[in-house]
Amino acid sequence: MTAESPETFQDLISALQRFWSDQGCTVLQSYDMEMGAGTNHPATFLRAIGPEPWRAAYVQASRRPTDGRYGDNPNRLQHYYQFQVLLKPSPLDIQEVYLASLSALGIDPLVHDIRFVEDNWESPTLGARGVGWEVWLNGMEVTQFTYFQQVGGLECRPVSGEIAYGLERIAMYLQGRDSIYDLHWGRSVHGPVTYGDIFHQNEVEQSQFNFELADTDALFPWFDACEAQCRALTAAGLALPAYEQVLKASHTFNLLDARHAISVTERQRYILRIRQLAQATAEAYYAGREALGFPLLDAASAAESVGT
Amino acid sequence: MSPPATLLLEIGTEELPPKSLRRLSDALTAGIRESLESNGLGADAVIGFCSPRRLAVQAQGVPLRQPDREVERKGPSLKAAFDAAGAPTKAALGFARSCGVEVGELGRVESGKGTWLVYRTQQPGGNVQSVVPDLAAQVLAALPLPKRMRWSDLDTEFVRPVHWVVLMLDAEVLDAQLLGVRAGNLTRGHRAHAPEPLSIAHAGQYAQILEQQGHVIADFSRRRARIAGQVEQQAAAAGGRALSNDALLDEVTALVEWPVALVGDFEPQYLRVPPEVLICTMQGNQKYFPLLDGNGKLMPKFIAIANLESRDPQRVRAGNERVIRPRLADAGFFWDQDRKQTLAARESELAGVVFQEQLGNLADKSARVAKLGERLAGTLDCDPALLRRAAHIAKCDLLTEMVGEFPELQGTMGRYYAINDGEPQAVAAALEEQYLPRFAGDAIPASPLGRALGLAERLDTLAGIFAIGQRPSGEKDPFALRRAALAALRITIEGELPLDLLALIEQAVAAQPVDAQPGLADEVFDFMMERLRAYYQGQGVGTLHFEAVLARRPRAPLDFHRRLQAVVAFTELPEAHSLAAANKRIRNILRQAGQVPEAFAAERLCEPAERRLAEQLRRVERTATPLFERQDYRSALNEMASLRDAVDGFFDEVLVMDEDRTLRANRIALLNSLSRLFLQIADVSLLPGET
């Protein structure tokens, strides 16, 4: 059954959280560091590694400095939100469950043309790749849907299914708005609170910072420092703090890129450096979980034997 | 024997990659057809079906059983099988035991070398039901998958996760497990229109059941034709004509199971943007069909193919219009933004873009192309100043926002921006033409300037990439050098440019910022000759003809082409065969003779037949020489064909290997002159001819 559409951005988030909570997902919160996508959250990147089962859903604030448009473009932001779902192993009915989540948002599959269009995701910095689709809603991409095949250079066994909803796009659709800034985020006693009320100034100022003021002289050595720190931490077997250094290095690179401070050839080298960190971290994480005896594996089999 | 049956195999999947769907389906269909045949189960007709969620094959008229086969097993020879007394040896007894019979029951088989014991038996053929499951599994395993994947915690690998398998013979489900799924008689229809499994009563009803109950047109061609028809109909209703092409139709067909066309509108203000950009946006990103009016101008409309008979089509239409709007707005923004700066003003930025690490940046490359291009200016009859100008700004459009967003519009945007900047018309045209031909069958540049630029650009790339040791190997051709080589050849040949290719390559190699290995220019030249071979193969020219001309290694492709045309025409002549054979014979004689005098002495020719050949040869030399100079090889070969009788007469009546040394040497010299005459054009001894 198709539900009523959520009226506000915050209702949209609640509806998705409720839906995926009902699917047995642990509902987490946005990670408190700068990152380009929900995939970079350790609840996806690290949890997709190794044999342990895992189901999580969360909103992740995503930062892409080069996408900033000083608040002038109604469709592009340097800071926006993804609703991320990771299901490991990917259930066999994952597409049906996803379509049910759209119904829960009031999107009727007999009214709207919903399609899975090939798009194989790849992240050169994370050493990750997968097979999947972008999901079209009447021709508009609203979700990235991926079966992870490799993460941090490690083959995925079992395979995780990742669903990343573009929240702003879906909200624009549901609310019938042509500009992100006109979206109703919530409702106050004085009337609707718009996305623009909350974030427009942020887009203007952050764009200025990203493109004009970010201090490249400070960023280059900072990248090197994150890299060195990450190396030291992986050597010490501390995968989680090491991974935070990967995130920092990655965001630093994105800022340098937005400042056009890295030449085309150099760019490849930086990407490779980050990938090497991500791979070392992935290996350290796997080793750490293995040393712990992959505890979630035991929990899962215990639950199964109780069930039968 | 029972009447033949219909076999059905369907693999139900998640949405398959549209661009390889048809190839995958064809491979599965061919695999099943061939496998049935090679297993003695050849069908009357084998039909493939495919849609985003399925690959299927239906084989009609499949025999129910394989024919029985006679199996023959060879044992020891009679000599080894029986001892002097005629009693069976251990070898014979052992062989009989292994066949499960007595020695007396074994047959005999004779061959040229003797007689052997043999065991013959009828092996009964298996029935379809028992053979097909393994056969299908083998065909599936051998499919050329574009990219394999795994899913969930399973070990199965396929293009996309597999959810159901149908394997039926008429009304019977075959016992099989394929791609990790047990075969049954349940298929699935359209996701939204027919979400419940559909049961197939009979393998022959597959397509009808899907279409009537499942909202799925499983036949690709039928679906494609329906889309083409709907597009045409909607376009006519909107007062226009749809801009369609095979690739787009194929892709759209691979993206839907139940096509429904709809017309959408966009704001007419975007028509100020060059039509190529709008077409790119509509076709490339959204898989829409653009519409043209009666004058061939774009209309502010498009046709989208939905995969749904929506309960509220207006919402689908509005949704699609919403998607295209920001994309067109972006395009309009880039168009306005890019024109604020001239192409020439961007020239300094070219230095910041790496072409290839060892070969420098785009400014370096542009300078090299300009220099090489200038050398071509004379032959191509174009103004060197314009050529320099075009070469220097040729890559500037790569720095624009528009080309950043739509890389396939490189060159086209260069032309638009150049016109906008007030560049000379010829320069603007050349910026677009430098990329022609873009694909097999595409036109070559029309203007001399475009040809010069396109040629210089490709030769520079070929020389540079070869110089850094990255020539293509096997499947790997990351710099698309094969295409570049073919494009350069086509420009010189089809543009009828009498250019010394080897000299141009030498200059291009010398201009590279890296030290080239000695002989590199020849390597590039030979690589291009291999492309030339492929070019002519594609046109159905025989390999021997090509080899005959290649043996002379003409340095100008146009010259090569003219020789080849002449050789092809020559082989149609009645004289060709015998002259080719004579040249082969002469070549052997010359090879064995070793040292051959430069010229023959006419006064020492004594036999009438050799004197006649010498006279005829002199005559033809006289008439053919000016023809060589005009590269009129066809007429020259026509002249040479008239030598046939004299040549045949010579070989019939004259003994070359005379005992008299002087006579012999003189005759060999005569033949050498004849051979050299032909070699002015090609090595005709390589052509077909009986010896």
Tens digits of residue pLDDT in B159-169: 999 999 999 99
| B367: CB partners within 8 A, 6+ apart | B391, B392
CATH 1.10.730.10 maps onto chain B at: 569-686
pLDDT band at B2 (very low <50, low <70, confident <90, very high): low
Distance between CA atoms of residues B30 and B158, nearest Å: 18
Q: Taking CB atoms and an 8 Å limit, are A133 and B15 in contact across chains? A: yes
Interface test with A, best of B15, B253, B305, B405 (most A CBs within 10 A): B15
- Architecture of B344-540 per CATH? Orthogonal Bundle (1.10)
CATH 1.10.3210 maps onto chain B at: 344-540
Look up residue A24 and give its two tokens.
């047995």
Mean pLDDT over B262-271 rounds to 96
Predicted pLDDT at B659: 86
Tens digits of residue pLDDT in B340-381: 999 999 998 898 887 888 999 999 999 999 999 998 988 888
Mean pLDDT over A201-205 rounds to 97
Q: Taking CB atoms and an 8 Å limit, are A110 and B163 in contact across chains? A: no
Contacts of A110 in chain B (CB under 8 A): 192-193, 308, 310-311
- Architecture of B5-65+127-214 per CATH? 2-Layer Sandwich (3.30)
Q: Taking CB atoms and an 8 Å limit, are B352 and A116 in contact across chains? A: no
**Residue B189, Cβ density class (10 Å: 0-12 exposed, 13-18 middle, ≥19 buried):** buried
pLDDT over 70, % of chain B: 99
Look up residue B569 and give its two tokens.
């025409």
pLDDT band at B580 (very low <50, low <70, confident <90, very high): very high
Residue A176 C-alpha, separation from nearest chain B C-alpha, in angstroms: 10
Judged against a pLDDT cut of 70, whether residue B17 lies above it is answered with yes
Mean pLDDT over B8-37 rounds to 97
CB nearest A140 (choices: B52, B193, B319) = B319
Structure letter (DSSP) for residue B88: B
The domains located in chain A, with CATH, are: 9-198 (3.30.930.10), 210-291 (1.20.58.180)
C-alpha dihedral sign at A72, A78, A79, A83: positive
Q: Residues B220-255, buried b or exposed e (16+ Cβ, 10 A)?
A: beebbebbbebbbebbeebebbbbbeeebbbbbbbb
Residue A197 C-alpha, separation from nearest chain B C-alpha, in angstroms: 22
DSSP E strand boundaries for B283-434? 289-292, 298-306, 354-356, 360-361
Contacts of B286 in chain A (CB under 8 A): 139
Interface test with A, best of B14, B53, B152 (most A CBs within 10 A): B152
Tens digits of residue pLDDT in B537-547: 999 999 999 99
Tell me which chain A residue has its CA closest to the CA of residue B351: A263
Q: Taking CB atoms and an 8 Å limit, are B315 and A138 in contact across chains? A: yes
Predicted pLDDT at B72: 86
Secondary structure of residue B243 in the 3-state scheme: coil
Q: For B569-686, CATH number?
A: 1.10.730.10
Judged against a pLDDT cut of 70, whether residue A306 lies above it is answered with no
Tens digits of residue pLDDT in B397-438: 999 989 988 889 999 999 999 999 999 999 999 999 999 999
**Residue given tokens 């999580």 in the structure block:** A56
Tell me which chain A residue has its CA closest to the CA of residue B357: A265
Predicted pLDDT at B378: 84
Contacts of B16 in chain A (CB under 8 A): 118
pLDDT band at B258 (very low <50, low <70, confident <90, very high): very high
Q: Taking CB atoms and an 8 Å limit, are A92 and B161 in contact across chains? A: yes
Predicted pLDDT at B122: 87
Predicted pLDDT at B555: 96
Amino acid, single-letter form, for residue B497:
L
Mean pLDDT across chain A, nearest whole number?
A: 94
What residues in chain B have their Cβ under 8 A from chain A's Cβ atoms? 14-19, 52, 147, 149-153, 160-161, 163, 191-193, 255-256, 286, 304, 306-308, 310-312, 315-316, 318-320, 322-326, 352-354, 357
Mean pLDDT across chain B, nearest whole number?
A: 93
Mean pLDDT over B133-150 rounds to 94
List Cα–Cα distances, A259 to A220, A250, B405, in angstroms: 12, 14, 19
Q: Taking CB atoms and an 8 Å limit, are A112 and B152 in contact across chains? A: no
pLDDT over 70, % of chain A: 97
Q: Taking CB atoms and an 8 Å limit, are A108 and B311 in contact across chains? A: yes
Q: Residues B567-593, buried b or exposed e (16+ Cβ, 10 A)?
A: bbebbeeebbebbbbbbbbbbebeeeb
Predicted pLDDT at A101: 98
Look up residue B433 and give its two tokens.
């033409």
Please state the φ and ψ torsions of residue A100, each to the nearest 5 degrees: -65, -35
Judged against a pLDDT cut of 90, whether residue A190 lies above it is answered with yes
pLDDT band at B209 (very low <50, low <70, confident <90, very high): very high
Interface test with A, best of B151, B153, B311, B337 (most A CBs within 10 A): B151
Other C-beta atoms lying within 10 Å of the C-beta of residue B31: 21
Contacts of A264 in chain B (CB under 8 A): 353-354
Interface test with A, best of B54, B150, B179 (most A CBs within 10 A): B150
Judged against a pLDDT cut of 80, whether residue A301 lies above it is answered with no
Predicted pLDDT at B603: 87
| A124: CB partners within 8 A, 6+ apart | A271, A275
Mean pLDDT over B329-343 rounds to 92
Judged against a pLDDT cut of 80, whether residue B604 lies above it is answered with yes
Tell me which chain A residue has its CA closest to the CA of residue B153: A158
Residue B319 C-alpha, separation from nearest chain A C-alpha, in angstroms: 5
Q: Residues B317, B323, B326, CA angle at the centre, nearest 5°?
A: 135
Check if the beta carbon of residue B294 is closer than 8 Å to that of residue B301: no
**Residue given tokens 């502010």 in the structure block:** B300
Secondary structure of residue B292 in the 3-state scheme: strand
CATH 3.30.70 maps onto chain B at: 5-65+127-214
Residue B163 C-alpha, separation from nearest chain A C-alpha, in angstroms: 8
Tens digits of residue pLDDT in A1-55: 688 999 999 999 999 999 999 999 999 999 999 999 999 999 999 999 999 999 9
Contacts of A108 in chain B (CB under 8 A): 311
Tens digits of residue pLDDT in B481-525: 999 999 999 999 999 999 999 999 999 999 999 998 899 999 999
CB nearest A117 (choices: B255, B316, B323) = B255
Tell me which chain A residue has its CA closest to the CA of residue B310: A111
Q: Taking CB atoms and an 8 Å limit, are B14 and A115 in contact across chains? A: no
In this structure, are strands B241-242 and B289-292 parallel, antiparallel, or unpaired? antiparallel
Mean pLDDT over B109-127 rounds to 87
Please state the φ and ψ torsions of residue B604, each to the nearest 5 degrees: -90, -5
Interface test with B, best of A134, A138, A296 (most B CBs within 10 A): A138
With CA atoms as reference, report the closest residue to B174 among B123, B124, B125, B127: B127
Predicted pLDDT at A308: 46
Contacts of A112 in chain B (CB under 8 A): 308, 310, 315-316, 319
Judged against a pLDDT cut of 50, whether residue B176 lies above it is answered with yes
Distance between CA atoms of residues B453 and B457, nearest Å: 6
Check if the beta carbon of residue A58 is closer than 8 Å to that of residue A26: no
CB nearest A263 (choices: B150, B152, B354) = B354
Judged against a pLDDT cut of 70, whether residue B565 lies above it is answered with yes
Judged against a pLDDT cut of 60, whether residue A307 lies above it is answered with no
In this structure, are strands B197-199 and B186-188 parallel, antiparallel, or unpaired? antiparallel
Tens digits of residue pLDDT in A240-271: 999 999 999 999 999 998 888 887 667 888 99
Judged against a pLDDT cut of 80, whether residue A81 lies above it is answered with yes
Predicted pLDDT at A305: 66
Q: Taking CB atoms and an 8 Å limit, are B14 and A178 in contact across chains? A: no
Mean pLDDT over B35-52 rounds to 96
Interface test with B, best of A52, A72, A113, A143 (most B CBs within 10 A): A113
Contacts of A179 in chain B (CB under 8 A): none
Judged against a pLDDT cut of 60, whether residue B691 lies above it is answered with no
CB nearest B15 (choices: A116, A159, A161) = A116
Residue B151 C-alpha, separation from nearest chain A C-alpha, in angstroms: 5
Predicted pLDDT at B599: 86
